[in-house]
Amino acid sequence: MGFFVPVPPPPSALVSGAGPTGCVAALALAACGWRVHLYDPAPAQSLGQRARAYALTHSTRRLMQSLGLWEGLLPQLQPFQRLVMSDRWAGAPDVLFTAADAPVGWILDHRPLMELLLQRCRSAPGVHLHLGEPDPPTQSVGLRVHCEGGRSPARSDLGIGFVGWDYRQGCLTCQVQLEGAAPATAWEVFRPEGPLAVLPLGEGRAQVVWSGPLEACRQRQALAEAPFLEALGAALPAGLRPSRVLEPAASFPVACRLAGRLARGRALLCGESAHRCHPVGGQGLNLCWRDVAVLWQEAAAVAAGERSLQRLPRRYARRRWVDALLTLAATDLLIRLFSNRWLPLLLVRQLILRTLSLAAPLRTLALAAASQGLVPLGTLPGGIDRAPSRGEQSPLFRRA
């Protein structure tokens, strides 16, 4: 006579918000055996329709490779080998960042990203996708993961504040055809009104992320194509000429905010529900996905019976606040230091940029911090310790 040994049901989670953070969180939880319900009140079509492009770093590459998403994204990724940092107002030389044999980063358009993520969520065993439906107010799930973006209603329902400030700057984004740009080169240009990033999308197309006073962003957004291109051309580094607008400009306010706590009870905040930062340095989505990486590590330990589900939210919160706080502080410092014409700060900037342009090890260190995050992630459950394919590998980026 055999004994019947009951198998405990797999842990379950309800993920609210099927933006880039929620989809990747659902896939990560399912990858380690969790049963996941992913809800978003928006229908699939509108989830893919945002005119955005993301600069992906090596911390994101590791997560995507470990989850088996990288290969699917590769045809859509635009690697860039060089990042030029420029501050003409400080009279300092341009600083060129490169990373041995690896791209410095990759640019990815929002639409193909969401198409792939939603398609994987539909087909992943363990993920139940509910689009166009608000999440049920109560459900007996082990864990609630809130990925509802900066305006997360759950954050306030949980009684968690969103501490920080709005910048006087706003941000205008658009896609343009660009003449005169060196191939595979991204720019971060510091201007007194705010930074301007040029992200290559291939075939001369570029995403422009142009910060300035919010009112100026809105006025530029309302310009007809010719005067808009003229204004943009005047702001771009010498030699870069925008010839056509490919995606109309959109502008939005920018803020630096961090949730007062990242977890309460069985619920945790992930991605932009937990933090928002200035787009300078392209940290936003990478920081969101580093939250997911830590959630995945903790969820895998629960699924393996090594840790208790009850403690997961608190452990996640303890591990995530330092990276989030340091990243917000670093982007805020960049904005305070570089968005002005105050002479003492111009001199400090000149000193920093001259030192960076002369000291390759410092450039390597700065790039590693921006690319891997300020707190090492450790090994991911999917074991991305396989060598990245050719062109992705450098001694710097081999391991976190």
Ligand X SMILES: Cc1cc2nc3c(=O)[nH]c(=O)nc-3n(C[C@H](O)[C@H](O)[C@H](O)COP(=O)(O)OP(=O)(O)OC[C@H]3O[C@@H](n4cnc5c(N)ncnc54)[C@H](O)[C@@H]3O)c2cc1C
- What is the biggest distance separating any 2 CA atoms in the chain, rounded to whole angstroms? 86
Cα 94 to Cα 249: distance, rounded to the nearest angstrom: 27
Among 252, 255, 332, 345, binds ligand X (CB under 6 A): 252
Rounded (10°) CA dihedral 132, 137, 140, 142: 80
Among 13, 14, 22, 211, binds ligand X (CB under 6 A): 22
Among 149, 164, 204, 233, binds ligand X (CB under 6 A): 149
Q: Which residue is nearest to ligand X (CB)?
A: 19
Give the nearer residue to ligand X in terms of CB position, either 284 or 388.
284
Cβ(211)–Cβ(184) below 8 Å: no
Tell me if 200 contacts ligand X by CB under 6 A: no
Cα 143 to Cα 296: distance, rounded to the nearest angstrom: 13
Cβ(48)–Cβ(192) below 8 Å: no
Cα 262 to Cα 316: distance, rounded to the nearest angstrom: 8
Cβ(282)–Cβ(54) below 8 Å: yes
Which parts of 369-398 interact with ligand X (CB under 6 A)?
A: none
Give the nearer residue to ligand X in terms of CB position, either 36 or 147.
147
Give the nearer residue to ligand X in terms of CB position, either 92 or 279.
279
Phi and psi, residue 201, nearest 5°: -110, 5
Count residues near ligand X (CB under 6 A).
31
Among 60, 81, 86, 173, binds ligand X (CB under 6 A): 173
Piece in contact with ligand X (CB under 6 A), picked from 10-18, 160-168, 231-239, 329-337:
10-18
Give the nearer residue to ligand X in terms of CB position, either 53 or 346.
53
User: Of 270, 247, 235, 286, nearest to 104 (Cα)?
Assistant: 286
Tell me if 175 contacts ligand X by CB under 6 A: no
Cβ(298)–Cβ(307) below 8 Å: yes
Among 11, 17, 103, 195, binds ligand X (CB under 6 A): 17
Tell me if 153 contacts ligand X by CB under 6 A: yes
Tell me if 210 contacts ligand X by CB under 6 A: no
Among 11, 13, 14, 20, binds ligand X (CB under 6 A): 20
- Per-residue x/- mask for ligand X, residues 256 to 295, rule CB under 6 A? ---------------xx------x--x-xx--x-------
Piece in contact with ligand X (CB under 6 A), picked from 16-24, 119-127, 325-333, 349-357:
16-24
Give the nearer residue to ligand X in terms of CB position, either 39 or 296.
39
Which parts of 35-94 interact with ligand X (CB under 6 A)?
A: 39-42, 47, 52-54
Which parts of 100-139 interact with ligand X (CB under 6 A)?
A: 134-135
Taking the chain, what is the end-to-end CA distance rounded to the nearest angstrom? 51
Give the nearer residue to ligand X in terms of CB position, either 59 or 346.
59
Task: Give the pairing of strands 127-131 and 143-146.
Answer: unpaired
Cα 331 to Cα 284: distance, rounded to the nearest angstrom: 10
Question: Which long-range contacts (C-beta less than 8 Å, at least 24 apart) are formed by 293-296?
Answer: 293/28, 293/59, 293/62, 293/63, 293/377, 293/380, 294/319, 294/320, 294/377, 295/25, 295/28, 295/29, 295/145, 295/268, 295/270, 296/28, 296/29, 296/31, 296/32, 296/63, 296/380, 296/381
Residues near ligand X (CB under 6 A) are 16-22, 39-42, 47, 52-54, 134-135, 147-149, 153, 173, 209, 252, 271-272, 279, 282, 284-285, 288
